[in-house]
Amino acid sequence: MDPATTRAQQRRNTEARILAAAGRLFAESGYDRTTIRAVAAEADTDPALVMRYFGSKENLFAQVAVVGNVEAITGTPEQAAELLLKALTAKLTEEPVNALAAIRSMLTHPDAT
């Protein structure tokens, strides 16, 4: 480890590894089949750190699958669907692995929807 690396930078690096690993695993396996232990192993860290940084699998998923700045969902069902599709399109363009994680998990886990 570089001695110039601060604890804050080490934490950011670990969080980034965890989020990347979680995104890949949620995309590959869906919400139900992804475990904290598997995410930790993929991120080459301890499961306790995953829980310390994110608190729960649900919070970790929320960080990975967040769609971003979605306008308030108002209007007719058709207008609401259009807003959601617009947000999903942006997510697919900017973060395809995390978007796939969100889509796959929405299809397999009611709370992810």
Domain ranges of the chain: 7-66+96-108
What does the block give as tokens for 109? 């886990």
> Can you give the pLDDT of all 113 residues of the chain as single tens digits?
565 679 999 999 999 999 999 988 988 888 888 999 999 999 999 999 999 999 999 899 888 877 555 556 678 888 888 877 887 787 777 777 766 777 766 666 666 55
Q: Which fold has domain 7-66+96-108?
A: Arc Repressor Mutant, subunit A (1.10.10)
DSSP per residue, the chain: --TT--HHHHHHHHHHHHHHHHHHHHHHHHHHH--HHHHHHHTTS-HHHHHHHHSSHHHHHHHHH----PPP--SSHHHHHHHHHHHHHHHHHH-HHHHHHHHHHHHH-TTT-
Q: pTM for this one?
A: 0.66
Cα gap 47→105, rounded to integer Å: 21
Determine contact, residues 26/65, Cβ cutoff 8 Å. Answer: yes
